[in-house]
Structure 1
């Protein structure tokens, strides 16, 4: 078990109750999220790149939804002169700011995860040093998909929410203890809410594979959430099976090879109640078209 622990939030600081309210609002964002984006005409085999295409727009819409749900995170109007703003080139990229002041109240590092991405886990890197965060800052990851699976408007699923400073510590501990050959991590001299253009990310001494910061690989951090999220039904079929089905056509192979791979998937998922014989038969008919 890791010795890394969460940081305590001072009970006498107003940001503590604010942070708890923001967490509640983040959990409610999927229910209130609305987007004018509508995707049509995308090839099924191009779907895997959707996070790159739409990730920023999804994050902008999430911030707008968060501001629209002020009654959840500020029920007593204690922060009525504050609003969330997104800064795509800064860390954290979402900040609650008071009008006329540059110093953020709290920050959220907001990440999007397209559910039909090939990896079946979030692949983003979280490299910010623990010193670049306060104990009130949050890391929030929103899974998203399209309303009609391969077309339609973005819809969100329940987010992963965690204390950003704790995640930074846990990530570094994981990296430095992952194997006997693990290398150290260099920490920059930084402060919370670093200015744009300054160095605020930890640097792994040996990271030839560019894997430092992939927090989804840290055992025990996101595992259960990822497993549950990949069970999200999309048109009645769990997201994981959509990914595996679409990957058949992304991989090189003749029609017979693809067909055999699909039958292997169909046989492997019998424990999934969403994947009925009727659904399998429907997909087979689609493959005949």
Structure 2
């Protein structure tokens, strides 16, 4: 069997009547961290268990995204052409957010939101994205919102730059990766589609619209981060500084703590991490380098106290 070609991104036609508002909102999504606010404060829990608040935080993000986009109406609708439309949140169905007319019910496009706790030991998003491509309208978007705590192990959640992708393309790429990788391994690559009557944009909560792998004992189908589609974005994010330390080193620190309970082994890994940082820091900036090491040491001592 010959595998189909890798899918290509197909943005909405520029002649589409709603292209302008779609493009404005798509660009605004990258600025979500500048507007995001929450009263949620996380403290007093084991630093390695912060990810457990993920489901609660996902709900907060969905609500906030709706509020933020509606508050920025003057940017995406400066001429008041869409006065009858508003962003709304919907639960238990795809996608999470719709730009919808409050009287006619007409939907212009939707946004599926996925949260990612950046310091999880996986070092990549672990969510599953299983919507069938046919249930995605051409303008629908998939948005991954990475977050971290303001003081690393406590404080308020803060958003980092999101990942924005066409929802249909992401679904097609996921299926392509799964089938190609399984075929090359000589394994069952069949993907079961939902009923045809459900394969349309904006299915109801009662309509099953997910693709499912026929042979998936590890329950890995849908983990699009493993498909490579986010690689460039993830690598770029890990190179960013947070409180003076590259995010990839924060991840390495938390992974060292989560993967072993032995203090001696953890200290060995922390020492290795220090050496890795030493090899990448410009030694002429000795003051900054010492500050980074002190911050890592202080964080490690704080985490030990919470274990």
TM-score, normalised to structure 2, is 0.86
Retained in 2: the 8 A contact 1:24–1:73?
Answer: no
Pair 1:255-2:263 in alignment: yes
Find the counterpart in structure 2 of residue 267 from structure 1: 275
Deviates more, 1:3-12 or 1:31-40: 3-12
- 1:21 Cα offset (Å): 1.1
Report the equivalent of 1:104: 107
1:126 equivalenced with 2:123 (yes/no): no
The answer to whether residue 170 in structure 2 is matched with residue 164 in structure 1 is no
Correspondence 1:245 to 2:258: no
Per the TM alignment, residue 143 of structure 1 is displaced from its structure 2 partner at its CA by: 0.9
Partner of 1:72: 75
Aligned equivalents of 1:243, 1:70: Cα separation in 2: 37
Distance 1:12 1:285 in 2: 56
1:214 equivalent among 223, 238, 245: 223
Please give the residue correspondences for 1:136-285 in structure 2 after superposition, counting only pairs within 5 Å.
136-178=139-181, 179=184, 180-188=186-194, 189=196, 190-219=199-228, 221-273=229-281, 276-284=289-297
1:15–1:136 Cα contact (<8 Å) kept: no
Q: CA RMSD in A?
A: 2.1
- Find out whether 1:32 has 2:39 as its counterpart: no
| Compared CA separation, residues 281 and 10, structure 1 to 2 (3 A) | closer
Tell me, in whole angstroms, the C-alpha distance in 2 between the residues paired with 1:226 and 1:68.
29
CA distance in 2, matches of 1:117, 1:72: 35
- Answer whether contact 2:120 2:255 (CA < 8 A) is retained: no
- Greater shift in the superposed pair: 50-59 or 137-146: 50-59
**Cα distance change, pair 284–197 in 1 and its aligned pair in 2 (3 A):** same
Q: Distance in 2 between matches of 1:52 and 1:119?
A: 17
Misfit runs of 4+, over 4 Å: 285-289
CA distance in 2, matches of 1:9, 1:79: 18
CA distance in 1, matches of 2:15, 2:295: 59
Count of matched residue pairs: 288
Q: Which has the higher helix share?
A: 2
Paired with 1:288 and 1:149, the residues of 2 have a C-alpha distance of 13
Structure 1 contact 85–97 (Cα < 8 Å) conserved:
yes
- Which 5+ residue runs of structure 1 have no aligned equivalent? none
Please give the TM-score of this superposition, normalised by the length of structure 1. 0.91
How many angstroms apart in 2 are the aligned matches of 1:229 and 1:119?
A: 14
The one of 84, 92, 97 equivalent to 2:87 is 84
State the secondary structure of the residue aligned to 1:108. Answer: strand
Equivalent residue of 2:119, what SS?
Answer: coil
Moved more, 169-178 or 275-284: 275-284
CA displacement 1:232-281 (0-9 Å, x = unmatched)? 32221122222221233323333222211111122223354498233224
